[in-house]
């Protein structure tokens, strides 16, 4: 018996979501855990997977359409089931979709094995001439070009039409690598200069005398104003940060730590670690250790109580093309530094590909955000609600430091700014936490304990 596939509530409390793209096509069979479609929420682009084996009978919501949570988006059936009259099956489920109003979709024969489980950008073979192999980019009889959400965004930003890009993804789907190759190809193409044909009348007219160029009289041409429509992610970021500043009483505490031993420890760890460990990975572990030493910081504010959490869950801010996301590392206090580094690296890669899961973006009491790689000395960050604090990390700089023996020596100094929600956390508590963090950073062997 056919049934309706409905828009899932991939984000708690969300009323709508946007269906970015269908990975499975009409009449195509799929297996349990295969990706059926990609859905954009206010925080990220997530994969919508199948609960059991089945076949997609008809698409009811076309790509790029926003739909309410729980609304029908497709008609599905059990694997191998044949539906003779699709319109009648929809009518029995109180869904009426006239053939003329049907969205444009691609048809894939049921006998063709689905490739929806492929989540990686394939490697494109390039011949000796540098040309890419010709691959069809249209599907079915509609001529529609399918592409990933990230690929469409990159193409739009570069002013490219997806119809001119060759897709190498599953079923000819355009992926990020295809757009990058198209952009690179366009940059090396120089249009030939077309000669201007002279008429006989034009050749008889004397050229006007040359006027000496006056550089001071040259005025810059007015640039064109470019308007970039807000994405769901950008609107969500704006809304959450505005809410944060309006509802959370922020206050700030600055601290600094000499990190020469921390940098030396990182060098030694990377000599043996299978995963490259960054300074930010060590700071995440140090912050978790400080939360253990001062458990009153590992709390959340609610309307009824201050909630103290049993594990140290810390967000790691990641900059992506669509905006800032903060996936959460859970139980950081129990992780080895190699696991922290591997988890953070995985989050960064999947964040930039729009492949984070919703649950990975929720929870946590604090976040670490680092702009040191941009030579930023120090900055203050806005708390990500409902968390209670955020630690802003600046660049490590060589500074003159007075040693305990009264001599001035150059030392590697790290400046930090802690933004705190004053409702659940008092000033003394935050000061104790900052003191603990500095102690751990300056004696980094405590990170590994």
CA distances from 271 to 281, 344, 396 (A): 16, 19, 21
Tokens standing for residue 68: 């309410």
Domain range summary for the chain, segments of one domain joined by +: 3-101, 138-185, 250-448
Query: 267 Cβ partners below 8 Å, 6+ apart?
Result: none
Domains 3-101 and 138-185 share a fold: no
- Give the pLDDT confidence score for residue 257 in this predicted structure: 97
- Is the confidence at residue 142, as pLDDT, over 50? no
Rounded Cα distance, 267 and 297, in Å: 30
For the stretch 207-264, pLDDT in tens is: 444 444 444 444 545 678 888 888 777 888 888 899 999 999 999 999 999 999 999 9
What is the pLDDT of the chain when averaged over all its residues? 80
Place of tokens 């249009």: 191
Q: CATH 4.10.320.10: does it fit domain 138-185? A: yes
Residue with the larger pLDDT of the pair 260 and 21: 260
Q: For the purposes of burial, counting CB atoms within 10 Å of the CB of 44, is it exposed (0-12), middle (13-18) or buried (19 or more)? A: buried
3-101 fold: OB fold (Dihydrolipoamide Acetyltransferase, E2P) (2.40.50)
Q: Class for domain 250-448, per CATH?
A: alpha beta
Report how far Cα 405 is from the mean position of its chain's Cα atoms.
Answer: 49
- Give the pLDDT confidence score for residue 54 in this predicted structure: 94
For the stretch 389-411, pLDDT in tens is: 999 999 999 999 988 888 999 99
Q: Among the options 177, 415, 422, 443, which is catalytic?
A: 422
What is the DSSP code (8-state) at residue 405?
T
For the stretch 59-108, pLDDT in tens is: 999 998 889 989 999 999 998 888 989 998 898 888 875 443 444 333 33
For the stretch 185-211, pLDDT in tens is: 665 443 444 444 444 443 444 444 444
Q: Is the pTM of this model over 0.85?
A: no
415 is an active site residue: no
Helices (H), 79-167: 86-92, 149-158
């Amino acid at each position: 018996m056919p049934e309706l596939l409905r828009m899932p509530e991939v984000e708690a409390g969300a009323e709508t979501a946007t269906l970015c793209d269908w990975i499975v096509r009409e009449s195509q069979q799929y297996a349990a855990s295969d990706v059926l479609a990609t859905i954009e929420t206010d925080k990220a682009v997530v994969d919508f997977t199948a609960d059991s084996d089945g076949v997609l009978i008809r698409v009811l919501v076309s790509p790029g359409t926003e739909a309410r949570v729980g609304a029908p988006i497709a008609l599905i059936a059990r694997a191998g089931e044949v539906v003779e009259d699709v319109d009648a099956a929809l009518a029995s489920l109180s869904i009426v979709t006239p053939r003329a109003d049907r969205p444009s979709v691609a048809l894939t024969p049921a006998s063709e094995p689905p490739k929806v489980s492929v989540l990686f950008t394939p490697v494109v073979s390039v011949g000796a001439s540098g040309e890419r192999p010709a691959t069809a980019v249209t599907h079915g009889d509609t001529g529609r070009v399918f592409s990933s959400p990230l690929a469409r965004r990159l193409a739009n930003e570069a002013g490219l039409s997806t119809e001119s890009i060759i897709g190498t993804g599953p079923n000819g789907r355009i992926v990020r690598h295809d757009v990058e190759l198209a952009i690179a190809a366009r940059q090396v193409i120089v249009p030939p200069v077309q000669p201007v044909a002279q008429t006989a009348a034009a050749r008889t007219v004397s050229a006007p005398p040359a006027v000496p160029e006056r550089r001071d009289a040259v005025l810059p041409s007015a640039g064109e104003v470019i308007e970039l429509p807000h994405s769901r992610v950008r609107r969500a970021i704006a809304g959450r940060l505005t809410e944060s500043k309006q509802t959370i009483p922020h206050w700030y505490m600055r601290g600094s730590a000499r990190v020469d031993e921390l940098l030396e420890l990182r060098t030694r760890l990377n000599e043996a670690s299978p995963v490259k460990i960054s300074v930010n990975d060590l700071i995440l572990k140090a912050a978790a250790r400080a939360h253990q030493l001062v458990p009153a910081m590992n709390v959340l504010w609610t309307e009824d109580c201050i909630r103290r959490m049993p594990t140290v869950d810390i967000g790691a801010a990641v900059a992506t093309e669509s905006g800032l996301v903060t996936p959460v590392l859970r139980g950081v206090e129990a992780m080895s530094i190699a696991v922290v580094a591997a988890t953070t690296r995985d989050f960064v890669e999947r964040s930039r590909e729009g492949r984070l899961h919703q649950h990975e973006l929720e929870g946590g009491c604090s976040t670490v955000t680092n702009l040191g790689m941009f030579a930023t000395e120090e900055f203050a960050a806005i708390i990500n609600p409902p968390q209670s604090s955020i630690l802003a990390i600046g660049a490590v700089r060589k500074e003159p430091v007075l040693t305990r023996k009264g001599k001035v020596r150059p030392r590697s100094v790290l400046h930090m700014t802690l933004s705190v929600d004053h409702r659940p956390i008092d000033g003394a508590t935050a000061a104790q936490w900052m003191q603990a963090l500095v102690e751990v950073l300056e004696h980094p062997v405590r990170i590994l304990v």
